Amino acid sequence: MTLSITTLPSITSAFVDTTRLCQHVLSCGPVDGEPIMLLHGNFSAATYWEELMIALAAYGFRCIAPDLRGYGWTKDKRIDSTRGYRDWSDDIAALLATLVIERAHMVGWSMAGGILYRFIADYPEKVLTATLQAPVSPYGFGGTKDIKGTPCFADFAGSGGGTVNPVFIERIQQGDRSVNDANSPRIIINSFYYKPPFRAVREEDLLTAALMQKTGSDRYPGDAEPSANWPYISPGTFGPVNCWSPKYLRTEVADLLAAQPKPPILWIRGDSDAVVSDSSMFDVATLGKLGYIPGWPGEGIAPSQPMIAQTRHVLDQYVVAGGRYYEVVLTDCAHSPHIEKQEKWISEFLAFRYLK
């Protein structure tokens, strides 16, 4: 499926060939401005940053937002999940090199928060500041049970590509734009990205961009392996959702804590986020506890992943290791603070930027 690219008037859309792939990149603001790179989350694209980019450009920032590998209009190229977030992290480093940008403020939303953990670990000298917006836990998404990221099962069952609702995948492949079905992409976005009754002004353009996500057993969500452990699937080796399985993030926390230099981190999230939370509605353990997935083995074996507590635990260690972080929780806000609370987001970012 190929859909046309629609951007706001002051946003430039371009395709940039790097040493790794051809990326679709949106940009805005003065070319000599302080660079800020904005990385989108799962089932979204660079389009989701446009209004924020225009607002930040007014403060003199050079804003850059790529469609990540597997998303948006970037050239389709398979993701090797056994590398964790490294395919994306290396893509970003190659893009910065192609654009001749030595250092930038880095912003990662949801999935891309995980990418930033990896990018800080591998390319710390390229990061002026790091903003983690509603980030996935440093231990990944799904399959862990305490603040230290202990796996529920040795094969990491409960995480990876097999945990995504197959009906949702079918709807993406169909280009579904329906308005009254719980499994439709539009309803998922409006129910979970924002705190209802909030609706994005550019709902149609954002939905179009999200529907550009590449799907398939080796694309989104990725492949899976059978497991003897509940919910009887474990991670495969390709596709985005396997990338954030804890199976492939075994050194992520240690690598982040060892990074030198350590850029200051802003952790910003909404108080009503049901995607990344200590009882996420996208965590199979939460769904099992609520009775949506049969056979749940109980709290002692497969509790909801404490995502917020895990992130705080790791960032507290980041401080002990010599880094700094600032946590901001926005009220009446869900998974997309930069859209739901743009003015507050900018205010917090600017305060962080100048106090760093």
Q: SS3 letters for the chain?
A: CCCCCCCCCCCEEEEEECCCCEEEEEEECCCCCEEEEEECCCCCCHHHHHHHHHHHHCCCEEEEEECCCCCCCCCCCCCEHHHCCHHHHHHHHHHHHHCCCCCEEEEEECHHHHHHHHHHHHCHHHEEEEEEECCCCCCCCCCECCCCCCECCCCCCCCCHHHCCHHHHHHHHHCCCCCCCCCCHHHHHHHHHCCCCCCCCCHHHHHHHHCCCCEECCCEECCEEECCCCCCEEECCECHHHHCCHHHCCCHHHHHHHCCCCCCEEEEEECCCCCCCCCCCCCHHHHHHCCCCCCCCCCCCCCCCCHHHHHHHHHHHHHHCCCCEEEEEECCCCCCHHHHCHHHHHHHHHHHHHHC
CATH, residue 275? 3.40.50.1820
pLDDT value, residue 38: 98
pLDDT value, residue 323: 97
> In angstroms, rounded to a whole number, what is the distance separating the alpha carbons of residues 129 and 217?
35
> Do 160 and 233 contact (CB within 8 A), yes or no?
yes
Q: Is residue 75 part of a domain?
A: yes
One digit per residue, pLDDT tens: the chain, 356 residues? 567 889 999 999 999 999 999 999 999 999 999 999 999 999 999 999 999 999 999 999 999 999 999 999 999 999 999 999 999 999 999 999 999 999 999 999 999 999 999 999 999 999 999 999 999 999 999 999 999 999 999 999 999 999 999 999 999 999 999 998 999 999 999 999 999 999 999 999 999 999 999 999 899 999 999 999 999 999 999 999 999 999 999 999 999 999 999 999 999 999 999 999 999 999 999 999 999 999 999 999 999 999 999 999 999 999 999 999 999 999 999 999 999 999 999 999 999 987 65
The closest of 173, 145, 191 to 286, measured between CA atoms, is: 145
Q: Is residue 58 part of a domain?
A: yes
| CB hemisphere CA count around 300 (13 angstroms) | 0
Domain that includes residue 89, residue range: 12-153+250-355
Q: Is residue 45 part of a domain?
A: yes
Tell me which amino acid residue 14 is.
A
Q: Is residue 235 part of a domain?
A: no
> In angstroms, rounded to a whole number, what is the distance separating the alpha carbons of residues 199 and 186?
11
Q: Is residue 84 part of a domain?
A: yes
Q: Is residue 85 part of a domain?
A: yes
Q: Is this structure's pTM higher than 0.75? A: yes
Q: Is residue 160 part of a domain?
A: no
How many folded domains does the chain comprise?
1
pLDDT value, residue 2: 63
Tell me which amino acid residue 239 is.
G
Q: Is residue 271 part of a domain?
A: yes
